[in-house]
Amino acid sequence: MREGLASTVLRLSGEHLLLVLVAVTAGVLIAVPAGVFLTRRESWRAPLLLAANVVQTIPSLALFGFLIPVPFIGGIGKGTALVALILYALLPILRNTLAGILAVDAAVRESAVAMGMTDGQLLRIVELPLAARTILAGVRIAAVTTVGTATIAAAVGGGGLGDLIFRGIATVDTTLILAGALPAAGLALAIDGGLGWIEGRFSR
Amino acid sequence: MADPFLEFRTVSFHAGGRAILDRLDLRVAQGEVLVLLGRSGSGKTTALKLANALLMPSGGEVMVEGRSTRQWNAIELRRRTGYVIQETGLLPHLTVGENVGLVPRIRGAEANPERIRGLLDLVGLPAEFAGRYPRQLSGGQRQRAGVARALAADPRLLLFDEPFGALDPVTRFELQNEFRALQQRLRKTAIFVTHDLREALRLGDRIALLHNGRLEVNCAAAEFRHAATPEASAFLAAFRGDI
Ligand SMILES: Nc1ncnc2c1ncn2[C@@H]1O[C@H](COP(=O)(O)OP(=O)(O)OP(=O)(O)O)[C@@H](O)[C@H]1O
Ligand SMILES: [Mg+2]
């Protein structure tokens, strides 16, 4: 059995990374447009941010548990795990998209509008490029925390490195726990470093 | 007088429960430079923003080329109007050349490097500045770039909101001279906002004095020193010896 551990770790690491990539990508696809929308609708800002905040405060194990009985998205398996991970990824990306765009200098925005930009042009040419660094910082936070949260996804059949950790806890096998925890930590560091590097290239 | 290029017809603007502009009547003829003079908070910027539909009047009409700003497509009107503000509002993540080529670009036209060089030359910036970022320019150079950008679409109307306000007196004087020389050549219709009477007298064909949102004086620049309203007297007293 020890013979297979290395390949198991490799396979589960791949699964883990895939979970994180899908969750964060979906998080970006939802939260960036939502953040842009919130810059245009001030009255929606407080309620939507509150909702995202509330989701964030639910302990992850409980959130996975809550989702199991929900029809279509719930049940035991990858789907439930992904939905929960996406929900967690939303807040940092949403908040940073909003903050990044709102931080664009008023004089810059005004002169862009005054030269005749449409709202779409303002977004594409001015706001998103100037907010890119902040948005990316949000994505980085989301990605790193998702690596950690995804280990708990194994509890609802989500797979990934959490499998090893839960099995290790159940059998009081420290080697198994470490075989899940160490690659997860390495993954988090690698993602943090990679996205940090990209972020640095936006430093204007 | 021929039909004015720009006309404020009894324009009021209300915000925060009070009148920021109160029944303003103004006409700017084709090719004329009108200086909007007034102390801080008198409503100059507000009046300027009504001219390119950044704001809509609460009462009255702002007519540009015979058409109310309510009828104009706001985007179209703004693309035909050059606008320069104190901080220029150059986009910090684009080079000077890209900034100057921005208006053609948002209209879907190709930015022509030849033309950008020509515009930089017109405002006294060397061609190699096209590749620099705004933060690599001095305040005076940024203002020049802002003027070049405003001229890029060959607008018929130019709006200036204290464009030289943050510059040292020498650079300011220099840019005022160049503004005059440029205006001799281009003959654009322009509104120039300032709180500096000396600048108003140097640059304006006409001077309109705003006080608490009301038009107090509207006269040829040369006649301003004979204006006898309280606010005009206050300005003349403040600049006595300078003008
Ligand atoms: N949207 C707004 N809501 C409420 N008050 C406003 C608004 N915009 C401007 N004001 C007020 O209207 C007055 C005129 O403002 P405006 O910016 O036109 O003055 P200004 O003459 O350009 O002053 P300055 O020389 O300091 O730039 C000020 O008292 C300002 O506080
Ligand atoms: Mg002003």
Give the span between the Cα atoms of B185 and B4, in whole angstroms. 21
- Bridge partners of residue B35, in order along the sequence: B192, B207
Closest CB to A116 among B75, B90, B149: B75
Taking only the tens of pLDDT, chain B with its 243 residues reads 568 999 999 999 999 999 999 999 999 999 999 999 999 999 999 999 999 999 999 999 999 999 999 999 999 999 999 999 887 789 999 999 999 999 889 988 887 889 999 999 989 999 999 999 999 999 889 999 999 999 988 899 999 999 998 888 888 898 899 899 989 998 999 999 999 999 999 999 999 999 999 999 999 999 999 998 999 999 999 988 777
Nearest in space to B26 (alpha carbons), one of B183, B190, B162, B215: B215
Residue in A with minimal Cα distance to B86: A107
Tell me, using a 6 A CB cutoff, whether residue B194 lines ligand 1. Answer: no
Q: Which of B14, B22, B42, B87 has most ligand 1 atoms within 8 Å of its beta carbon, as the pocket-test mutant? A: B42
Give the span between the Cα atoms of A153 and A162, in whole angstroms. 7
Q: How many residues does chain B have?
A: 243
Q: Where are the beta strands (DSSP E) in chain B?
A: 6-15, 18-28, 33-38, 59-64, 67-68, 81-85, 157-161, 189-194, 206-211, 214-220
- Token look-up 């921005």 returns B102
Give the closest ligand to the alpha carbon of residue B54. Answer: 1
Tell me, using a 6 A CB cutoff, whether residue B16 lines ligand 1. Answer: yes
- Token look-up 């140097």 returns B202
Rounded average pLDDT over A143-161:
91
Note the pTM of the prediction, 2 decimals.
0.87
What single-letter DSSP state applies at residue A76? S
Alpha helices in A4-41 (DSSP H): 5-40
Rounded average pLDDT over A129-133:
95
How far is the CA of B117 from the CAs of A58, B95, B125, in angstroms? Answer: 58, 13, 9
How far is the CA of B105 from the CAs of B79, B94, B101, B170, in angstroms? Answer: 11, 13, 6, 35
Q: How close A129 comes to chain B (CA, Å)?
A: 8
**How many other C-beta atoms are found inside a 10 Å radius of the C-beta of residue B80?**
17
Distance B46 CA to ligand 2 centre (A): 7
Structure tokens at A53: 């905040």
pLDDT per position as a tens digit, B49-72: 999 999 999 999 999 999 999 999
Instruction: Give, in degrees to the nearest 5, the angle at Cα A116 between A110 and A117.
Output: 80
pLDDT per position as a tens digit, B117-140: 999 998 999 999 999 999 999 988
Q: How many residues does chain A have?
A: 204
Closest CB to A107 among B80, B85, B133: B85
Tell me, using a 6 A CB cutoff, whether residue B106 lines ligand 1. Answer: no
Banded pLDDT at A149 (limits 50, 70, 90): very high
- Give residue A203's pLDDT: 65
Q: How close A101 comes to chain B (CA, Å)?
A: 14
DSSP B112-150: -HHHHHHHHHHTT--GGGGGS-GGGS-HHHHHHHHHHHH
Give the span between the Cα atoms of A4 and A164, in whole angstroms. 13
- CB contact at 8 A, A124 and A115: no
C-alpha gyration radius of chain A: 20
| ipTM rounded to 2 decimals | 0.88
| B89 lies within 8 A of chain A by CB | yes
Q: Which residues of B touch A204 (CB under 8 A)?
A: 92-93, 133
